[in-house]
Homo-oligomer: A and B are copies of this chain.
Amino acid sequence: MKASLIKIIFHRNIVLNNPLKRNALSLSMISSLREDILRDIESTDLRVIIISGEGPVFSSGHDLKELAFEKGEKHHREVFETCSEVMTLLPKLPVPVIAKVNGLATAAGCQLVASCDIAVASEESRFSTPGVNVGLFCSTPGVALGRSLPRKVAMEMLLTGEPMTAREALLHGLISRVVPEDKLEDETLRIARRICESSRPVVALGKATFYKQMEQDVSTAYRTASRVMVENLALQDGQEGIKAFVSKRKPAWSHS
């Protein structure tokens, strides 16, 4: 029945689920994350992805033991390239990705948070890039941090490895929302639900355009975005949305 479907949330929960290893992003964990993200990504029933971690650590980043024992440049290259691939994939997905953080997010785990579209964290969460302390500077996390935080704040994190509180992370722009721990689930679902109320192709076009124009100079960015506004209006759901608005009724999205 259509009516009951409206209340369903079309989101996918991806849970980093190796708490004994602090959800370390081993090569197998990263590969499985990539798989989970891409599965049925074109399905119109999928509208938003939520990434969270099981246990007190969201993710501790790369698996240093793996990097130590699986020797050889070839393996190391594979780890960092696969990880970078997943991080750059997130903004390219047709659905928004929300990081739901409850606990510690360090190194590539912190990078994963910074690479999502939206990040909601509990007040007790902490963020750090402590690679420098163990002789492996967080250079790949720095790509995401440097584009989320003021430079001096990012550099202090990267050079000292010291943790930042959730409040500080919000203040500086690393995350977009902080709530008490007991509200984290509700608040994340509320945002997910809001997104699910919108048209999937409209969201997909908007998200893709945002990241595209951000890499252009302002004039080119406006040319890109103006063209997209016209395209958006010509979409079936663009037409439906504006008609519904004018008629003061709820829009009935086709999502296609």
A residues neighboring B (CB under 8 Å): 64-65, 67-69, 73, 76-77, 80-81, 83-84, 87-88, 91, 96, 114, 116-119, 131-140, 142-143, 146-156, 158-162, 171-177, 191, 194-195, 197-199, 202-203, 205-207, 209-210, 213-215, 217-219, 221-223, 225-226, 228-230, 232-235, 237-246, 251, 253
Contact = CB atoms under 8 A, between A and B. Distances in A.
B135 A84 contact: no
Contacts of A230: 73, 76-77, 80
Contacts of A153: 173, 176
A143 B80 CA distance: 31
A140 B172 contact: no
Given A80-B229, A133-B197, A137-B205, 18 more contacts: A68-B246, A69-B246, A76-B230, A88-B219, A96-B155, A131-B206, A135-B238, A135-B253, A139-B213, A142-B206, A146-B210, A149-B173, A150-B174, A151-B173, A159-B195, A159-B198, A215-B217, A215-B218
A112 to B, nearest CB: 13
Given A64-B246, A153-B173, A191-B156, A226 B88 contact: no
Given A67-B233, A197-B133, A246-B68, A77 B226 contact: yes
Contacts of A161: 194, 198
Closest 7 pairs between A and B when the two form their complex, measured CB to CB: A135-B241, A150-B173, A137-B206, A84-B222, A80-B226, A156-B176, A152-B176
A162 B176 CA distance: 12
A176 B148 CA distance: 14
A132 B209 CA distance: 13
Interface residue SS majority, chain A: helix
Contacts of A135: 198-199, 202, 232, 235, 237-242, 244, 251, 253
A144 B70 CA distance: 43
Contacts of A244: 134-135
Given A202-B132, A210-B146, A228 B139 contact: yes
26 contacts: A77-B230, A84-B222, A87-B222, A114-B152, A117-B155, A118-B156, A133-B197, A134-B244, A135-B232, A135-B235, A135-B238, A135-B239, A136-B202, A136-B229, A137-B203, A137-B228, A138-B206, A139-B205, A140-B226, A143-B225, A146-B214, A147-B151, A148-B152, A150-B173, A150-B174, A156-B177
